[in-house]
């Protein structure tokens, strides 16, 4: 029997990412647990409206989404705990500017450069709707066919109700392989 626990956002865990944006080629970073796919050609990054980085993103109309793995988790956690309005976070990560002029974390196993095409506002949040300009992946995280292998990449996941970080686990099977006559 299921119990009604109310209007609870229960779509966790989600991939943990560090979003980067640059003002005059100087990056700033923030930790984000609210990212999503809204089609085969759009992604969404949702940030509290009062974040410093929101203004930088709006000015540049660009952002990067850097997947967090275990190797950069301490730095990622730090950039989520301090405000860019009070602390210069530009040197927290070793970075390079991507082809779309967004800051890319060198140690992130996967980074996506995005262009903001729309902003969806809800109470207290700004959700940046983005197209994907490029996706950069460490070669060690690719399979023989050149596709991303998430068993090698091992992204950290964020679970909101308990504020815990999780690591991806075992493969349960291939999608659409559990066909059974009913």
Per-residue pLDDT of the chain (182 residues; tens, 9 = 90+): 999 999 988 889 999 999 999 988 899 999 999 999 999 999 999 999 999 999 999 999 999 999 999 999 999 999 999 999 999 999 999 999 999 999 999 999 999 999 999 999 999 999 999 999 999 999 999 999 999 999 999 999 999 888 999 988 888 888 888 877 55
Q: Supply the pTM of this predicted model.
A: 0.94
Q: Where are the domains of the chain?
A: 14-167
Residue 79 in contact with residue 110, Cβ under 8 Å? no
CATH topology for 14-167? Pnp Oxidase; Chain A (2.30.110)
Q: What are the beta bridge partners of residue 126?
A: 47, 121
Closest CA to 111 of 90, 88, 141, 78: 141
Which tokens is 170 given?
A: 């075992």
């Amino acid at each position: 029997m299921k119990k009604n626990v109310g209007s609870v956002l229960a779509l966790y865990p989600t991939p943990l990412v560090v979003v980067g944006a640059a003002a005059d080629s100087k990056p700033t970073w923030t930790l984000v647990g609210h990212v999503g796919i809204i089609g085969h050609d759009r992604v969404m990054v949702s940030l509290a409206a009062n974040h410093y980085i929101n203004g930088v993103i709006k000015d540049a109309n660009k952002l990067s989404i850097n997947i967090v793995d275990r190797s950069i988790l301490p730095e990622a956690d730090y950039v989520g705990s301090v405000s860019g309005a009070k602390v210069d976070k530009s040197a927290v990560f070793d970075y390079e500017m991507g082809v779309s002029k967004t800051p890319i974390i060198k140690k992130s196993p996967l980074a996506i450069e995005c262009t903001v095409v729309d902003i969806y506002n809800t109470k207290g949040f700004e959700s940046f709707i983005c197209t994907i300009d490029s996706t950069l992946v460490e070669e060690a995280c690719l399979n023989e066919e050149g596709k991303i292998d998430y068993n090698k990449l091992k992204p950290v996941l964020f679970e909101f109700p308990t504020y815990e970080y999780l690591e991806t686990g075992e493969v349960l099977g291939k999608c659409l392989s559990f066909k059974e006559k009913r």
